Amino acid sequence: MANKELSAVFNEIAALMEILGESKFRINSYQRTARTIKDLTKDVAQLAESGELDKLPGVGKATVEKIQAYLKDGKIDTHQELLAKVPAGLPRLLSIPGMGPKKVALAWNELKVEGIDDLKRVIASGELAKLKGMGEKSVKQIADGITFAESTSGRTPLGLAWPLADELAVLMRDVNGVTRVELAGSLRRGCETIGDLDLLCESDDGPRVVKAFTSLDKIKRVLASGDTKGSVIVERRDGEDIQVDCRVVPKASFGAAMQYFTGSKEHNVRLRERASKRGWKLNEWGLYDGDNQIAGQDEAGIYKKLELPHLPPELREDRGELDLKKAPRLIELADIRGDLHTHTTASDGKDDAETMVRAACDRHYEFMAITDHTKSSAIANGLSIDRMWRQIEKVRTLNEKIDTVSILVGCECDILSDGELDYPDQLLAACDFVVASIHSAMRQDREKVTARLLRAIESPYVNVIGHPTTRLIHRRESIDLDMEAVVKKAAETGTALECNASWQRLDLHDRHIRMAIDAGVKISINTDSHAVAQFDQMKFGIVTARRGGATPDDVINTWHLPKLRKWIATKRKRAGA
């Protein structure tokens, strides 16, 4: 779908207009259009084809023409005209945390800042901090934002890489002479961001397969084409580029290639050292004793020869996995019995409660929790206290109507800046399940934000802390949290920590999940779905939890409902609630 790219273009039009000092009315109009397109559950191209664009809120005739122009030519004249009025490096500054349109305009007009290098210069000289409306605190945030942006450049989020890799794999499986196609690299290990994509094809006709790969319609540019390897550039869903490497391997070496190209580099070094101590050699073609291949057709054979369990790819990071005597039975998608963090049209969801519940039924879930936002999340249409009481009645009625899945009445309760919860205890007690999350005051210092979270964890009604570090991958850094203190308090109180499966979050990340599990804290893997399609993101949470070593028993939404209810009741009873 073009929705995301088109929404970004309209947002940039609004930002450029604000930088250039144009009418606030026009700016708001473009921002509204961007939000409308972003929130669509249908492909904007389909709406254009059916003539329904003018039915969208805030979309008039002129806007319809701009959308149609973008769908036809990949550009909008107004956007191109605005870009021509500012230095080429200026729009990039908008992606830096702390640099909104007003501050970009200020730095450009007052200090002639035209790009990242100029911005770094005026930060170092102290000039930026002297501008009205800046100050040392703002400048530090901008400097940190530059470091953050530079550290994440060139990496593709898992949620963008995985669907593209699957699509390419499907295409290669249809190539004559290819008997097997697998994904390797950091994607197979489930890393939250990916460098390049790696495909392995089993075939005895390397040149033919490479030629087919480099001739795929999706290919934007060919970097290399040889007898056993092709490298190309493919456009991601968001318009950015990613390199894809395809290697052709014979059956006898396919397992060795899978192991080698899956990595990680550090894990592979340890395996080669282990092989070397036995007088053997390990590479992408196999495990050799002299010139004799003693393993390589499958991965399991290599690990067995090296007297190791066949380790799951997600654990291959040289974090102690080679000391395991037995491969752990990590959580799988099939283990999930329900989603405990979902939203509906009652707050900022795109699908109503019944539609969301029917989707849970389609996934054969045993239970799900509807957890719409609370009153302080005004931007998310959070429910007032009166609306929440009505929501409870509505969901209870829906639960009686649908008997194929149990619906837990819940909320995603805001943790306010002082640690207070957004709803009174009486209302929280009426809920079956409560997710508590931070959505504001994220720049509090470490002591304050940690104390705030600890206070929420102590509530007998809070079952899960949602997206605990609040990070957004490539967009927002984590809050400055004392995670050890949070994990300790969660363990003491019987509170779970969330692994938010949304690919923009993946929060908790793998190392924090490992820390929590080691302390006896339970994990809840939830999609935070705001629409039916987002239920599919559960797989991203699963692979992240696997990287943290999570087993089914570590994750509360793998339990049957009676066990889950007993766990919820235990915390309330322990606290005397």
Close Cβ partners of 59 (under 8 Å, ≥ 6 residues apart): 33, 36, 53, 67
Q: How much is the pLDDT for 443? A: 86
Indicate whether 150 pLDDT > 80.
Answer: no
pLDDT (average), residues 452-477: 95
Write the single-letter amino acid at 391.
Q
- CATH fold of the domain at 3-152: DNA polymerase; domain 1 (1.10.150)
* Cross-strand bridge partners of residue 525: 499
Q: Are 129 and 139 in contact (CB under 8 A)?
A: yes
Which structure tokens are listed for 555?
């994750």
Give the pLDDT band of residue 169 (cuts 50, 70, 90).
Answer: very high
Q: How much is the pLDDT for 113? A: 93
Q: Are 207 and 177 in contact (CB under 8 A)?
A: no
Q: How much is the pLDDT for 259? A: 98
Alpha helices in 421-494 (DSSP H): 425-429, 446-458, 483-493
Write the single-letter amino acid at 47.
L
Which structure tokens are listed for 53?
């664009």
Q: Identify the CATH class of 333-574.
A: alpha beta
Q: Which residue has the higher pLDDT, 358 or 3?
A: 358
Least confident segment among 97-111, 391-405, 482-496: 97-111
Residue 207, judged by CB atoms within 10 A of its CB (0-12, 13-18, 19+), counts as: middle
Which structure tokens are listed for 135?
């100050």
How confident is the prediction for the chain on average, in pLDDT? 94
Give the pLDDT band of residue 1 (cuts 50, 70, 90).
Answer: low
Close Cβ partners of 423 (under 8 Å, ≥ 6 residues apart): 374, 375, 385, 388, 411, 413
Give the pLDDT band of residue 152 (cuts 50, 70, 90).
Answer: low
Q: Are 198 and 245 in contact (CB under 8 A)?
A: yes
Q: How much is the pLDDT for 4? A: 76
pLDDT (average), residues 542-551: 98
Q: Are 6 and 67 in contact (CB under 8 A)?
A: yes
Nearest to 567 by CA among 414, 466, 485, 464: 464
DSSP string, 164-183: HHHHHHHHHHTSTT--EEEE
Distant-in-sequence contacts of 168-171, Cβ < 8 A, 24+ apart: 168/197, 168/199, 168/216, 168/218, 168/234, 168/244, 169/199, 171/216, 171/218
Q: Quote the CA–CA distance of 307 and 300 in Å, as a whole number.
A: 10
Q: End-to-end CA distance of the chain, in Å?
A: 48
Pairing state of beta strands 156-157 and 193-194?
antiparallel
Which structure tokens are listed for 159?
């949620």
Q: Are 296 and 269 in contact (CB under 8 A)?
A: no
Q: Quote the CA–CA distance of 81 and 506 in Å, as a whole number.
A: 38
CA dihedral defined by 485, 488, 493, 497, rounded to 10 degrees?
Answer: 80
Which structure tokens are listed for 156?
């593709």
Give the pLDDT band of residue 547 (cuts 50, 70, 90).
Answer: very high
Indicate whether 482 pLDDT > 70.
Answer: yes
293-351 pLDDT, tens digit each: 999 999 999 999 999 999 999 999 999 999 999 999 999 999 999 999 999 999 999 99
Indicate whether 45 pLDDT > 90.
Answer: no
Percent of the chain with pLDDT over 70: 99
Which structure tokens are listed for 112?
């002639």
Backbone angles phi, psi at 198, to 5 degrees: -125, 120
Q: How much is the pLDDT for 239? A: 82
Q: Quote the CA–CA distance of 177 and 14 in Å, as a whole number.
A: 51
Q: Structural domain boundaries of the chain?
A: 3-152, 156-323, 333-574
Q: Quote the CA–CA distance of 155 and 149 in Å, as a whole number.
A: 11
Close Cβ partners of 272 (under 8 Å, ≥ 6 residues apart): 282
Indicate whether 46 pLDDT > 60.
Answer: yes
Q: Are 279 and 287 in contact (CB under 8 A)?
A: no
What is the CATH number assigned to the segment(s) 156-323?
Answer: 3.30.460.10
Q: Which residue has the higher pLDDT, 277 or 95?
A: 277
Which structure tokens are listed for 390?
């009505």
The strand ranges marked E within 296-420 are 338-342, 367-373, 406-414
DSSP string, 269-303: HHHHHHHHHTT-EEETTEEEETTEEEE-SSHHHHH
Q: Are 444 and 470 in contact (CB under 8 A)?
A: no
Which structure tokens are listed for 479?
């809050």
Q: How much is the pLDDT for 517? A: 98
190-217 pLDDT, tens digit each: 999 999 999 999 999 999 999 999 999 9
Indicate whether 97 pLDDT > 80.
Answer: no
Which structure tokens are listed for 528?
């935070």
371-385 pLDDT, tens digit each: 999 999 988 999 999
Give the pLDDT band of residue 577 (cuts 50, 70, 90).
Answer: low
Nearest to 515 by CA among 539, 494, 497: 497
Nearest to 420 by CA among 444, 434, 436: 436
Residue length, the chain?
577
Q: Residue 49 CB: number of other CB atoms within 10 A? A: 12
Q: How much is the pLDDT for 151? A: 62
Give the pLDDT band of residue 552 (cuts 50, 70, 90).
Answer: very high
